[in-house]
Chains A and B, each alone.
Chain A
């Protein structure tokens, strides 16, 4: 199985493993399934210009890739097919909004009280039915914009200048919606002797662009980010991120989508880490600050699909297990169903809730009040579906370090 020939549907032997693992296939009878829409379509597409009519149902959750024994990048094939579809079809305004969270955030940052009015506006828009009319699901709350971006918060904080440095790739969710989580990450890194730098020119990793079919734009972002990342690496700084969709995009999907078109992707990936992965690595070398304070609480951990697809295990869970007093279990109950912006589309809402039903029920049965997970949209889905508190593991780790002091 030659993994360098990554766009070949050749490796597919039609074993049906992907179909069994696909949560969308389990939730709806309309979806033709990863095998048909991915490798089969890829093989036969030369004969017809139209894309399969059920292609829109793929949520890019990566469960098919995880199940495939043949290294077929099925979900990437689906996304490439989707991109092709949009070469001859127009995007809706809804797609434009969901595909460009960064644009929204950037704009609001520059308007006085921008975030406040956006949040209020979203609320009013929902109750007036405008949100629904635009094609967005109004059953779930839209993500709230924070009044201050992470970038701004970081600038205000006076970090000590430390010898060891990392560059942080925050991603749109951390930057515009949950900047405090980013600050928790900074706290954790500081506690381990690392100064956190950031690169103002980083742009959105491109994940929402890919899933909404803005491939050319995603490529531009990838080119820009890769260039900046390389510069950081050349200075000797590793790149860390705490959003699992960003890390998947940077270390894996960039290569799957744009290999041969953007330089240095493979080399860069060697220096890009999920923050917990990085911390577990240094733990292996006995360099982790294990001075954790007690956190006497019982949590559930939910592993985002995009993390499971990276082949690095569940490093946040392992870190959390080092915290004294903390009880935590991996709920292992499947995909939450939101898969990035998929669940925000009106026509996908019910399906996304159906996909995540298993997880929501398991959370409710467990009787915990807080679920920890590294993915921003998973957090939204779980809090909406199970009505529990949701936090990023970094928040707990930061809390633990602070408790010691």
Chain B
């Protein structure tokens, strides 16, 4: 049976980053994906870390990594390796023509549709709350009929967040989508697709020019295109001569789509073989070594053999971790040992949804060593050539901490490095 170097199971952000990292180093990589990950939920930013312990005190990753518990994936990786992963991603986005900015050193705040500020780590330059702080006048762009963003709500809450000493004005742009009203309803994706086109960008800029005075700041919902390119952003900036920031919205996320496309293009460019709609059901393991994984597709099973495997199947959302109805959690492909981290014995969920404590169900997951190799309670390696990355790892609460894509990135980068050593 012909084996490739690395099989990556999972095509979400962890999987695709691991695949690219290995492929760039010349390895033959096959990526088996089912669904497209959580890009359209996420927002396209790489949250590294913001709230390590409680919701009141924020900190950059660099400043708090030493205070994180031992189980936290960042603790296992160490600052140096996280920085290497960050470097990798920034390089990659630059190569693909949609450069991200940011570092582990400091938090970067971006505005959201509800007027709050959300701390992140690596970001496209079109997301920047600083422009709001600097400006005296802030324009909020609303799109007629867009039901997933309401400038009035943003304005009301921004007033509280960044202060009343600014002048706020709402400007409504007509995206000319009357045929959507009462049909599909206009979503973020529709506006973003409109702004992918030169005609749309021109029309939007023209409409705004009538109201917007240069030198101010403008908040857009995150609609500046679905492609990994700054075309729409640059166009708006140059036509309107204002500082611009996008605001995070509810899904589906156009910025998430941009990142997804960027990574997809990079994966293809570097020769990653991608199999879609591939459900990995089980693995063929002999003496602690995985020889192949078994995929159901086309009504039958196919095996994919490789020297090493990266499990990047995600958490509950993607099915990488399943919770059975007696509150037992399993990792369904390799049956890896799961650590459940509750303060009390049967505690699975905090009483408050947005609790000031991390959620036990979120902290649960697969245990790994510093090489991202799955281990058991005693720290012994369970499999010799399997590595895991992303949401299925134990020890972190990505919603609470704002660390989701950061852990995905760093663990994927390490998992790829480990996989290449096999």
Q: CB within 8 Å of B: which residues of A?
A: 1, 13, 15-17, 19-21, 25-26, 28-33, 36, 54, 65-70, 247, 250-252, 255, 266, 268-274, 277, 281, 283-285, 308-313, 330, 332
Contacts and interface: CB of A to CB of B under 8 A. Distances in A.
Interface residues on B, range: 35 or more
Interface string B285-305: 000000000011111101000
A16 B276 contact: no
Interface string B260-273: 00000000100001
Contact of B183 (A30, A70, A332): A30
B349 interface: no
Contact of A29 (B2, B179, B251): B179
Contact of B298 (A69, A70, A247, A330): A247
Contacts of A312: 275, 297-298, 302
Nearest to B275: A313
B297 A19 contact: no
Contacts of A269: 298-300
Given A30-B184, A272-B299, A330-B268, A16 B40 contact: yes
B68 interface: no
Nearest to A285: B1
Nearest to A283: B2
Contacts of B319: 1, 69-70
Given A16-B252, A19-B252, A67-B36, A29 B186 contact: yes
B416 to A, nearest CB: 21
B184 A25 contact: yes
A69 B317 contact: yes
A4 to B, nearest CB: 12
B107 to A, nearest CB: 28
Interface of B: 1-2, 34-38, 40-41, 177, 179-180, 183-184, 186-187, 189-190, 193, 251-252, 257, 268, 273-279, 295-300, 302, 317-319, 322
A368 to B, nearest CB: 17
A20 B190 contact: no
A277 B298 contact: yes
Contact of B275 (A33, A311, A332): A311
A28 B319 CA distance: 32
Contacts of A313: 273-276, 278
B186 A332 contact: no
B1 A284 contact: yes
Contacts of B1: 284-285
21 contacts: A16-B41, A16-B251, A17-B40, A20-B252, A21-B36, A29-B177, A29-B179, A29-B180, A67-B36, A69-B37, A268-B299, A269-B299, A270-B299, A273-B298, A277-B298, A281-B302, A308-B277, A311-B278, A311-B296, A330-B268, A332-B268
Contacts of A17: 35-36, 40, 252
A43 B187 CA distance: 23
B251 to A, nearest CB: 5
B35 A31 contact: no
A332 B265 CA distance: 10
Contact of B276 (A1, A252, A277, A311): A311
B329 to A, nearest CB: 14
A67 B34 CA distance: 7
Given A15-B41, A66-B276, A311 B297 contact: yes
Contacts of A285: 1
Contacts of A54: 183-184
A325 B376 CA distance: 51
A31 B183 contact: yes
A30 B179 contact: yes
A328 to B, nearest CB: 14
